Structure 1
């Protein structure tokens, strides 16, 4: 059985609920669980407005979408920089391979974020993904060829499994 809160905390919960604060805000302020807040608010004959909760949830989802969009834009900038550095590192197989791997990793992160935050009007996303996948495959093949050439082993050309 939960330990009852001191009367001053109980009054604080009711007061904050009457002022229109959300359940979670009250719980953080008072330092108790959301279910405790709900119980004390219910016992006081109050309730939390569903419209306010729905609006707060919608606002949070919009905020989270904006954050994901910003992070995704940063990842795309990093992919572009990694591609630039990869193109400049064609003489050093290890550097080329490292940049190609970094690009692949960033592309994977971008893809995961894009699935969480699908673009609303970008119809070229599939073409961009295909072009990036083709580049990465070519980068891996080129990195392997450069590594083999540097080692003096120019054996038969091998293709990567798709």
Structure 2
């Protein structure tokens, strides 16, 4: 900022005082860096309207939330496919691999949904669901191992 002339500072302040001026717009117009524009304007008590930026950020947040919801929904479809493959498995090892895939996909779904929960009860519900799923998969896995031990294959 020390290397800027008084004319450059005056040009920055003049551009910044125009209605609708943005920091980046002033920087482009005057050829002064964004950081220098910020420093000059802060010193002069000029601030920029950030409502457009706030609106853009809010729109992006909404877009990302929708994308996460779409992905979470797809994960449920993948859970169904993995469950069908698991139950159609020829051997115990394939069944256990399928059970692991179901658990991973269901866990991913729960984490995606939990990102957008506004209250702590959603987190607790997700933990409870994951705990129940893990317990059920443990029982299924134990049954699969017992069956394998009975027929001599593991």
Give yes or no for TM over 0.5. yes
Q: For 2:88 and 2:61, how far apart are their aligned partners in 1? A: 41
Task: Give, in angstroms, the shift of residue 60 of structure 1.
Answer: 1.4
Q: In structure 2, which of residues 40, 43, 50 is the aligned counterpart of residue 43 of structure 1? A: 40
- For the structure 1 residues 113 and 22, does the alpha-carbon distance in structure 2 shift closer, same or farther, using more than 3 Å as the test? farther
The normalised TM-score by structure 2 is 0.60
Q: For 1:76 and 1:112, how far apart are their aligned partners in 2? A: 12
1:23-78 deviations in Å (ceiling 9; x for gaps): 6xx5xxx9xxxxx6243245267643121122112111111111111211121111
SS of residue matched to 2:74 = helix
Q: For 1:21 and 1:105, how far apart are their aligned partners in 2? A: 50
Task: Give, in angstroms, the shift of residue 149 of structure 1.
Answer: 2.2
Give ranges in structure 1 of 5+ residues lacking alignment: 6-10, 31-35, 120-125, 155-162
SS of residue matched to 2:150 = coil
Task: Give, in angstroms, the shift of residue 137 of structure 1.
Answer: 3.2
Bigger Rg, which one: 2
Task: Give, in angstroms, the shift of residue 147 of structure 1.
Answer: 2.1
Question: RMSD in angstroms over aligned alpha carbons?
Answer: 4.3
The normalised TM-score by structure 1 is 0.58
Q: For 2:96 and 2:3, how far apart are their aligned partners in 1? A: 61
Q: For 2:101 and 2:3, how far apart are their aligned partners in 1? A: 54
SS of residue matched to 1:49 = coil
Q: For 1:150 and 1:55, how far apart are their aligned partners in 2? A: 59
Which residue does 1:115 correspond to in 2? 114
Give ranges in structure 2 of 5+ residues lacking alignment: 5-10, 119-124
Asked if the contact 2:96/2:144 (under 8 Å) is kept, the reply is no
Q: For 2:22 and 2:96, how far apart are their aligned partners in 1? A: 51
1:121-156 deviations in Å (ceiling 9; x for gaps): xxxxx6xx75x86565334323222223222389xx
Q: For 1:107 and 1:50, how far apart are their aligned partners in 2? A: 40
Asked if the contact 1:97/1:140 (under 8 Å) is kept, the reply is no
Q: Which segments of structure 1 move beyond 6 Å, counting only runs of 4 or more?
A: 2-5, 20-23
Aligned length: 133
Q: For 2:3 and 2:84, how far apart are their aligned partners in 1? A: 62
